Amino acid sequence: MDNDGRTPGDGDAGAPKKKGSTRAKKTATPRRGSAAAAPPPVPTPPAAAGDVAPAGIETFIGEPAPVPGAEQSAAPTTAVPAGAPVGSVQNVRAPVPGADVPSRPPVARGGGPTPPAPPTASAAPAVVARGETRKVGLLVGREWSFPPEFIEAVNGRDEGVTAEFVKLGAEHMDDPRGYAVIIDRISHEVPFYRTWLKHAVLQGTTVVNNPFMWSADDKFFGASLITKLGLASPKTAVLPNKSYIPGIVPSESLRNLKYPLDWKALVEWVGLPCILKDAHGGGWKEVYVCRSLEELLHHYDNSGLLTMVVQEFIQWEQFVRCLCVGQDEILPMKYDPKERRYLVEHEHLAPALGERIERDARAIVRALGYDMNSIEFAVRGGVPYAIDFMNPAPDMDIYSLTPHYFEWAVEKMTDMAIRLAKSPRGQAGALGWSALFTANRATAGAGRAG
């Protein structure tokens, strides 16, 4: 979402429009080549609802190979930065003016069914016994359209699974699991939540997305991973920080750094214009289109403590944003980055191109282990370049997605949450991308042996 050729601040993120009064009826999953259905009415935000078998820690720091049909998800942040585009990770909507802010009554701690023993690699997924209720917890920020619709959708199905807002206070290190599944859409902005979610994973809860992977992710790692996967992506380089915390003495503390950088060689490799952006950022914060070496140096010199990456600019002919739920459900949507809005037009991709985009997006989320994510592709010369893929809390606002795609998101997120609650997929074992490293070591070893 931050390599579409526009500098931050162009345009307006937009304000919430007038809300509707009823929940949209379920629509069929949109497919390429089909006509767009009439958009359902916009929902009115309802009042929020209330409301956690250890094993070795080394078994809980990753995501296992995906279970066929499993789904996953993510969410927006707490504040809208000036100039942030509709659909960005940081893009949220405050309640509609005049609407009552839902109150959240206090909830008693504890409770919940006794969790089953963590499954072994060879064990079949646990199955919920008849009559047993599993809980899905939702962690959110200021977004209002997705949370109530999701909770209502889960609770409206007769599946033995209920959903509610997670409630946290001073949590204890030995607190039991209270949720089978937690959907995390805000811990990237609230460190306390991220800290507690790691505990929840240890207790056997399936957290979407995995807090260990989310904490480790950054844009340079993502670019490296996609290169390993053999997918098309822009040339990307990571830069040493411009400034450092007090106590770092450049002449003594940074002896491992090359100085000065060969900026001319860097620009010759990545090309101009290029994109300079925060390796850990999102929502168009600290993103710059640099059309000359002087511009690149100017923005770098003002980057402060941030770790920046410089990236090839893709002069695109088509722009596609994929909403990924689970590691299988992929919805490629036509997106206009200049207007910063989605266009409900299912025939925007030729069949072969659409299939490749879906295949590439699926490979990326499976490698990252993300159960909800958004991925952007800039199509140049018929080739889809993955230009942004670290969005584990994708925008699911009804006004930015449009009611048509919003209904798809709610339905698929509900399917995923219920499936994971009824057939737990423990987050023990290696991350999906570790197999790449294992394969590389094996290949290198075989080459040396030969």
- In this prediction, residue 444 carries a pLDDT of 43
pLDDT in tens, 20-51: 433 444 444 444 444 444 444 544 444 444 44
Report all structural domains of the chain as residue ranges with CATH numbers, in order of start: 258-312 (3.30.1490.20)
* DSSP conformation letters of 58-111: GGSSS-PSPPTT--------S---TTPPTT-TT---PPPTTPPPPP--------
Helix and strand element counts for the chain (H, E): 10, 13
pLDDT tens-digit map of 213-234:
999 889 999 999 999 999 999 9
Q: At what angle do helices 434-449 and 219-229 cross, to 10 degrees?
A: 50
Q: How confident is the model at residue 188 (pLDDT cuts 50, 70, 90)?
A: very high
pLDDT of residue 215: 92
3-state secondary structure of 165: strand
Q: First-to-last CA distance in the chain?
A: 45
pLDDT of residue 448: 41
Beta carbons of 432 and 369 less than 8 angstroms apart: yes
**Burial 50-73, CB ≥16 within 10 A → b, else e:** ebbeeeeeeebbbbbebeeebbbb
Q: Is the pLDDT of residue 74 over 60?
A: no
pLDDT at 435 (0 to 100): 54
User: Residue 56: what pLDDT?
Assistant: 34
Residue 54 confidence (pLDDT) above 60: no
Q: What is the band of 133 on the pLDDT scale with cuts at 50, 70, 90?
A: low
Q: Give the CA dihedral 150, 153, 154, 160, nearest 10 degrees.
A: 170
Mean pLDDT of 331-341: 92
For position 285, what pLDDT does the model report? Answer: 80
